[in-house]
């Protein structure tokens, strides 16, 4: 078979590109709907004892809008009575500042009372933000616990929360509720107390695939299994003594 000169050659990537675009639009709509539905449910169930807010790297004036959205969403949840307390979670991961301490300082500057603010300083990945803060909340005596973050992250963590943080709800950001967010600014702070000496970025400590596996919950799963093993001898001992 001889091809005609000048005939159009089919683009093998055209349909794949269209599929990806449609999938992204559908996914975005799904997460947005999930956020609105969760927010309505939160208003019915309020107040929560505490909401958990995953950290964002602090880079001074270069700090991303993601931190601003999460901070103002947390403040709104507090101001509206949906939560009584806030736990910010995050270590010094991509910058030499402990994320949770920086965000706690900013929330204090925004008017949230300091006695209702807490910081979890160990987590380096989203699954760890949820798990370590959930355990911290329990140690503080909090019963009704929710995760407050952007819709995509909340949606990606749904199945993880069911298994490793039972009972934890999600109250993802509803962007329609964050009025005039573009006009708002993060408060100026002195981040000195959050600074980590001899800091090494996670990009230098972990490969991309290692970070991906930990983001998917590898470290949490290992720790959860280890805790189960430690508890088993105690359980057997209780049974044998009966």
Provide the CATH number for the domain around residue 86.
3.40.50.620
Indicate whether 224 belongs to any domain: yes
Q: Is residue 53 part of a domain?
A: yes
Structure pTM?
A: 0.82
pLDDT band at residue 64, thresholds of 50, 70 and 90? Answer: confident
Residue 18: inside a domain: no
Would 34 be classed as within a structural domain? no
Domain assignment present for 181: yes
- Helices 99-109 and 65-79: crossing angle in degrees, nearest 10, is 50
Residue 236 has pLDDT above 90, yes or no: no
Query: Would you place residue 9 in the very low, low, confident or very high pLDDT band (cuts 50, 70, 90)?
Result: low
Residue 26 forms part of a structural domain: no
Given a cut of 70, whether residue 241 has pLDDT beyond it is no
Residue 34 has what pLDDT?
Answer: 84
CA 167 to chain centroid = 16
Q: How far is CA 213 from CA 56, 128, 170, 208, 216, in A?
A: 19, 12, 23, 9, 5
Overall number of domains in the chain: 1
- Residue 5 within a domain: no
Residues in the chain, how many?
Answer: 242
Residue numbers of the domain that contains 98: 46-232
Mean pLDDT over 148-152 rounds to 93
């Amino acid at each position: 078979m001889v091809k005609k000169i000048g005939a159009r050659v089919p683009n093998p990537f055209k349909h794949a590109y269209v599929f990806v675009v449609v999938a992204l639009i559908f996914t975005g709509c799904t997460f947005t709907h999930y956020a609105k539905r969760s927010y309505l449910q939160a208003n019915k169930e309020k107040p929560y004892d505490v909401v958990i807010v995953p950290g964002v790297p602090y880079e001074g004036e270069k700090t991303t809008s993601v931190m601003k959205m999460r901070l103002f969403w947390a403040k709104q949840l507090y101001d509206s009575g949906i939560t009584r307390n806030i736990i910010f979670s995050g270590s010094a991961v991509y910058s030499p500042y402990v994320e949770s301490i920086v965000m706690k300082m900013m929330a204090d500057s925004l008017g949230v009372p300091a006695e209702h603010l807490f910081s979890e300083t160990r987590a380096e990945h989203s699954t760890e933000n949820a798990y370590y803060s959930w355990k911290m909340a329990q140690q503080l005596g909090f019963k009704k616990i929710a995760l407050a973050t952007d819709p995509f992250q909340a949606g990606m963590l749904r199945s993880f929360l069911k298994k490793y943080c039972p009972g934890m709800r999600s109250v993802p950001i509803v962007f329609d509720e964050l009025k005039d967010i573009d006009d708002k600014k993060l408060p100026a702070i002195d981040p000195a107390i959050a600074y980590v000496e001899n800091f090494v970025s996670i990009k230098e400590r972990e490969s991309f695939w290692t970070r991906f596996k930990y983001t998917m919950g590898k470290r949490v799963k290992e720790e959860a299994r280890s805790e189960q093993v430690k508890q088993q001898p105690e359980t057997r001992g209780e049974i044998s003594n009966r």
